[in-house]
Structure 1
Amino acid sequence: MTATSGGRLRRVPTAAEQAEGWRAPGQDAGWLNPFLERFLLKLLVRKELRVRYRGSVLGMVWSYVKPAVQFMVFYLAMGVFLELNKGTPAYAVYLFSGIVVVNLFGEVFGNATRSITGNAALVSKIYMPNQLFPWASMLVALVHFLPQLLVLVIGALVNGWLPSPTAAVAFLLGMLILLVFTMGLGMLTAALNAAFRDVENFVDLIIMVATWLSPVLYRIDMVQRQIDGTIWWWLYQLNPLTIVVQLFHTAFWRYSSPVVDEIASGVPGSETLATPGEPFGLWWAGLLIAAVVFVLGTIVFERSKRRFAQEL
């Protein structure tokens, strides 16, 4: 036993208990909690999925319905009405490979931001490692991402895509950058949202803008023709979402058929993000930015978590 600053006695784990992973009440392993508390994390993921689809008739089918409707609207508006499908081979694959990226970004970012306030009863009444809440939000988003990924793979196969080492590396790099970057942002905004509820409204705006400020609906060479040579062009290229979308295009669209590969390589400006590091573009810059954001988000979250119960 040991005395605290208030004169109360607190039991300190013995050396044997510490070796077995025991910790004093109120203490945790910080950013390692999602890895050390896997059982609690699994329970939270199950709880989130059950709450989300409680009373729903379609249930997980919504994971297909929502992106399908979103794809059809964008394809009609951009592909048919604005005729982008005429200048972009396999435009359906190009479009959907970008949609799955922004959908995953939006769900992880939005859900992580609301993870603390949405679990106010648990945060304020019992002790749990608070880092588990945004991480559970990410895992729930990945559950919804898998059906969309399956549809993307099928669509790419129909258009002549064949799995390759290049596609696999581009996909894995894109996923790594996206999840690290988004979790960093999510932990940062989750901590801020516990004190200022306006944050979640700003996050909704960011998610909406991100769809249009990334080469999801249009080719990146269209952007280059408008702002090439300016600081905005460099900022656009260094946007982690731009890098991730381009990596997904490399994985599923660019090499989906010889025609796509030939035309893409001949489009002025299409090689910009592929220099250096062809064909993976500025992956190193995206990974560096993602790591910095993740560290920043983790630090802010760790310093803020002790006030969550009072703020909620």
Structure 2
Amino acid sequence: MSERLVSSTPAEPARRTLSELESLPLAPPAATGLREVVRRRYLLGMLVRNTIQSRYQGTVLGWLWSYLQPAIRFCMFYFLFQVMIGRGEGTIENFAIHLFAGMVMVHFFTETFNGGTQSLVQNRSLITKLPVPREMFPVARMLVAAWHTIPMIIILLVPCIALGWRPDLVGMAAALLGFSLAAALGLALGLVFSVGNVFMRDVSKIAQTLTQFVTFSVPMMYPFTLVDTRFGGDVANYYLANPMAEAVLLIQRGFWIGTTADPEATAAVHMPDHLFTRGLIMLAVSLVLLVLAQRVFARLEAKVPERL
């Protein structure tokens, strides 16, 4: 049966359920690499759909939870920071949107990173049965993270539009650059940490600990100008070397800036110089890291089945 799976057309295995694939005998080694993952996109899509469906299995509201949870989260932050304690009054206009825009980017990155780290261990039964590149599992978790980020973006758009935000080419380019940066960096880390987690389960705990720092190391709960004011330009430059700080600033440029009374003045005050240049450089560096991560993954993945 494993030989029929290898030689069959793309449409045939796509009709099989993952439970049927898990019952197959051990599969022979398959070609590896991210390019091979793209070539097997029919199986990648099946893996993504199964992961999404399993998350809401047994619930009454199902996928509506992906909208309800971020909506409640946004209302809580709005009430707590903007109504209760007046955070941002006089300094940060529409602080709740400033905060939630950062949360969207941080959520996408942390779910990509943490999900990718655990992907091989969580799919151990499939890894030994399917002749597919094992990079497929971290990639699938990145796509699942993107799927769950879409409702958050929709929730973000509602108050933005109500406050007069309109899409502009520069802002959309900034948001797209930010998501590309977070995706490349999160997938690179997910590849390395996923194979490391196979050999030592503590690696997943390390990844969770690292992602906790992300929330406080980006200009989300506070503006970037606070870093510059409190610690000076030298420290601010080191702060901006954090790729996720750059990604958060880019999504804030795409959405939050457009909700303020004077977007140009707000961008001049709260956005650092050379935002796009820095973002493009960090994206290029992240793509190089992704290539290196894939090579590290390829060197170690042969030992993955026996370790699982």
Which TM-score tier does this pair reach, normalised by the shorter chain? 0.7 to 0.9
Are residues 1:142 and 2:146 paired?
Answer: yes
**Aligned residue in 2 for 1:84:** 87
- Match of residue 126, structure 2, among 122, 125, 146: 122
**Aligned residue in 2 for 1:61:** 64
Contact kept? 2:120, 2:194, Cα under 8 Å: yes
Larger Rg belongs to:
1
Equivalent residue letter for 2:128:
S
Cα 1:249/1:58, change in 2 over 3 Å: same
Cα 1:155/1:76, change in 2 over 3 Å: closer
Q: What displacement does 1:81 show?
A: 4.9
**Aligned residue in 1 for 2:297:** 301
**Aligned residue in 1 for 2:54:** 51
Q: What displacement does 1:261 show?
A: 3.6
Q: Percent identity?
A: 30
Q: What displacement does 1:37 show?
A: 0.2
Deviations 1:154-202 (A, max 9, x none): 2211111111111121111111111111111111111111111001111
Contact kept? 2:185, 2:290, Cα under 8 Å: yes
Q: What displacement does 1:237 show?
A: 0.3
Q: Note the 1:1-312 alignment, pairs <5 A.
A: 25-86=28-89, 87-230=91-234, 232-265=235-268, 267=269, 270-271=270-271, 273=272, 275-276=273-274, 280=276, 282-312=278-308
Q: What displacement does 1:152 show?
A: 1.4
Mapped partners of 1:155, 1:292: distance in 2: 37
Q: What displacement does 1:73 show?
A: 4.1
Contact kept? 1:161, 1:256, Cα under 8 Å: yes
Q: What displacement does 1:83 show?
A: 2.9
Cα 1:164/1:130, change in 2 over 3 Å: same
Equivalent residue letter for 2:265:
E
Q: What displacement does 1:310 show?
A: 0.9
Mapped partners of 1:105, 1:30: distance in 2: 22
**Aligned residue in 2 for 1:7:** none
Contact kept? 2:93, 2:260, Cα under 8 Å: no
Equivalent residue letter for 2:216:
W
Q: What displacement does 1:284 show?
A: 2.3
Q: TM-score, normalised by structure 1?
A: 0.84
Contact kept? 1:113, 1:190, Cα under 8 Å: yes
Mapped partners of 1:93, 1:287: distance in 2: 25
Q: What displacement does 1:29 show?
A: 4.2
CA RMSD of aligned residues (A): 2.1
Moved beyond 4 Å, runs of 4+: none
Q: Using the TM superposition, name which of 76-85 and 290-299 deviates more.
A: 76-85
Contact kept? 1:238, 1:285, Cα under 8 Å: no
Q: What displacement does 1:126 show?
A: 3.9
Deviations 1:259-289 (A, max 9, x none): 3443442x3xx34x2x235xx3521232133
Contact kept? 1:239, 1:286, Cα under 8 Å: no
Deviations 1:2-28 (A, max 9, x none): xxxxxxxxxxx9xxxxxxxxxx95231
Q: TM-score, normalised by structure 2?
A: 0.85
Contact kept? 1:84, 1:218, Cα under 8 Å: no
Cα 1:263/1:30, change in 2 over 3 Å: closer
Contact kept? 1:191, 1:304, Cα under 8 Å: yes
**Aligned residue in 1 for 2:14:** none
